[in-house]
Homo-oligomer: A and B are copies of this chain.
Amino acid sequence: MSRSVKLAVIAGDGIGPEVVTEALKVLEAATQTEPVTFDLTHFSLGATRFLETGDVLTDDDLAAIIEHDAILLGAVGGVPGDPRLKNANIERGLLLKLRFSLDHYVNLRPSVLYPGVPSPLAEPGEVDFVVVREGTEGPYVGNGGAIRQGSPHEVANEVSVNTAYGVERVVRYAFDVAQNRARKRLTLVHKTNVLVFSGSLWQRIVTEVAAEYPDVAVDYLHVDAATIFLVTNPSRFDVIVTDNLFGDILTDLAAAISGGIGLAASGNINPDRRFPSMFEPVHGSAPDIAGRQLADPTAAILSVALLLDHLGLSDASARVSAAVTADISARTTSGTGAAEPRSTSAVGDAIVTRLTD
């Protein structure tokens, strides 16, 4: 008997539709032999939709999305500086709205430097770590305000909100991830010497939960020091657990050292499964190269691997990862040294071929 998975697809703006097309091809190919079918609903959301209708994400959109088992998102956001988008904050109104409404308290971002992939680092060593970024608290809560806006006496505040409940659940998830990895190492990254209240909370919870995971070795780094180690000794990291904003910053840096944002996948996960989780490449909509088959769909395809894993289809997930690894190593070793640039769909096709041959 075949299980049916309702998948909401938000292709979005810019290169989003192109990379999602390839991701869906791969999803299909990887699950051909599995007892599962995907029932897709395409949602037109993002800057394009806003420019046409004035809506970013309506209550009806959200209600419809919640009916799904999972979400695949390409990228959202219009051309930077477009005056028509001035009053539409697509990031807060769509992307963060989904993450918060669907209680995506784990933002999972693996960083792997695949063999042969160039890194900006002279001696990257082995890069294979996962950032478990908190997704529903911290400075991202939108709890800010300003008075006397536009005047020389303006005061603008932003409140970072952190709860024991919110920190504990993500920390526990991170320990589970660490427990299941070979090196079993967890690094808390924060800025406890300056942000003493939120920092103490994170530190306390990590210490408390650590007692339940005696096999996991725990250490701590200030966020500023963590950026140094990411470029001088990335191999020291196995699992990083950190708050929403620090996670945002560290994962872009992590992507940069491990082959670029074109390879970085992410899962916005609600581990309770009360709401659909959402899988998306870390990259943005890159409107400058959109529609020209120039985008690398690998990050979107690796996000499909995370999606499959979340759905319990771990064999299919492993097949996608293996096909991507093989594709990447073929790119970098194919004869002349410099890889030929391939179109977005050529990359998708090559990975599909590996899955179906």
Complex CA distance for A231 and B194, rounded to whole angstroms: 26
Instruction: Tell whether A224 is near chain B: CB-to-CB under 8 Å.
Output: yes
How many copies of this protein are present in the complex? 2
Q: Name the segment of A4-12, A41-49, A196-204, A317-325 touching the other chain.
A: A196-204
A95 CB, nearest partner CB in chain B, Å: 9
CA distance A29 to B94 in the complex (A): 61
Q: Is A293 an interface residue (CB 8 A)?
A: no
B residues in contact with A142, CB < 8 Å? 196
A153 B164 Cβ-Cβ under 8 A:
yes
Q: Which of A219-263 contact B (CB under 8 A)?
A: 223-225, 227-228, 231-232, 245, 248-249, 251-253, 255-257, 260-261
Whole-angstrom distance from the CB of A166 to the nearest CB of chain B? 9
A161 on interface, CB distance cutoff 8 Å = yes
Residues of B close to A165: CB separation below 8 A = 152-153
Minimum CB–CB distance from A208 to chain B (whole Å) comes to 10
Bound: A161/B139 CA distance, A: 12
Q: Tell me, in angstroms, the Cα distance from A145 to B121 when the chains sit together.
A: 40
Closest Cβ of chain B to A206, distance in Å, is: 14
CB–CB B158/A160 < 8 A: yes
Q: Decide yes or no whether A150 CB sits under 8 A from chain B.
A: yes
Chain B residues lying within 8 Å of A144, measured Cβ to Cβ, are 195-198
- When C-beta atoms are compared, the residue in chain B nearest to A96 turns out to be B194
A-B contact pairs, 11 of them (CB 8 A): A89-B196, A119-B122, A120-B231, A140-B194, A156-B163, A157-B198, A159-B159, A223-B248, A224-B252, A228-B253, A231-B231
